[in-house]
Structure 1
């Protein structure tokens, strides 16, 4: 046992020690490292493409806005035309209403006495008939004084009444006095007779005088008309 221990110790002493073994330094290359070649590329084409794209986008936006504004303007113009047309129509309707109302008021004023005037002309006719019943020879200076005075009084009354009625738009007319041409709008033909010295269609005799109320026929005149053929 002792021998084995001594043998091991001698073997370990005979082994070289590795504690102080020389260090192996790595081989360092003395070649100078050269940096790889750098290539420079121009970004001008890319910038131009970007600017072109931006301009194109801006142009598209401007065109869209312009189209929208144009549409809005056309719409507003159409609304203006429609409103102007409605305004002109309203003004025209209002003016027509004013004129119609004015005519109606004036007509009501002018013909308010139409019924009264129609009844009154009968009294005027009676005065005219009374004057016509007195022969002309009895109205001479040597005639009946009372009859002449009565005739003059009736004639004066008739003249004053006709003058007063005329102030209110009621006028009496006698077609045969002026030899008027027959007019069916204001005359009523009662008979026809030949008159060699007159033309056909002339009113040569008045059976009943006519009346106008503010230019409108209140009662047509009844007349005899010339017919030679």
Structure 2
């Protein structure tokens, strides 16, 4: 009878051990499944992001052409050229290209490159846009080149006196 009891106890211990293993394997499986699902989501987001910016190279080339056409339009005042420039800009906008606004703005080194600094009334204000900057889907693809005014200490001191 002692043998039966110890055999039963042994079997019960083995059952408990197997239950613990089962719970442990289930938890590992659930963690691995969650990791896999997160990986799938991350890959989908990366694909989406890549697709969003896949056209960046082509758009950069087109922006150079667009800049040239805009300059020609300002000098020639030709209605046909103006329609072409407007149509070109509409096509760029349809690809989520936007122009960086620099008019009467404070200098922002993320969106702008300073090509000249000169004395002025306001500090770090854009005085002139040399070359427009653009964003694609909200991300800067070409910084605007600008001229920035800087307030000088001498001028400020003269105004105070």
Query: Same fold by TM (over 0.5)?
Result: yes
Which residue is 2:113 aligned to?
A: 188
* RMSD of Structure 2 on Structure 1 (CA): 2.6
d(CA) in 1 for partners of 2:142 and 2:12? 71
The answer to whether 1:106 aligns with 2:48 is yes
1:68-87 mapped onto 2 (5 Å cutoff): 68-70=11-13, 72-73=15-16, 75-87=17-29
Answer whether contact 2:107 2:126 (CA < 8 A) is retained. Answer: yes
1:227 to 1:88, Cα distance in 2 relative to 1, 3 A: farther
Q: What is the SS of the residue equivalent to 1:180?
A: coil
1:1-229 mapped onto 2 (5 Å cutoff): 62=5, 65-66=8-9, 68-70=11-13, 72-73=15-16, 75-133=17-75, 148=77, 150=78, 152-176=79-103, 179-196=104-121, 198=122, 200-229=123-152
d(CA) in 1 for partners of 2:26 and 2:127? 60
Name the larger-Rg structure.
Answer: 1
Q: Which runs of 5+ in 1 are unaligned?
A: 1-56, 134-146
d(CA) in 2 for partners of 1:182 and 1:62? 86
Which residue is 1:25 aligned to?
A: none
How far off its partner does 1:83 sit? 1.7
Q: What number of residue pairs does the alignment pair up?
A: 152
Highest relative contact order (Cα 8 Å, sep 6+), 1 or 2? 2
Answer whether contact 1:209 1:221 (CA < 8 A) is retained. Answer: yes
Q: Which runs of 5+ in 2 are unaligned?
A: 153-161
How far off its partner does 1:119 sit? 0.9
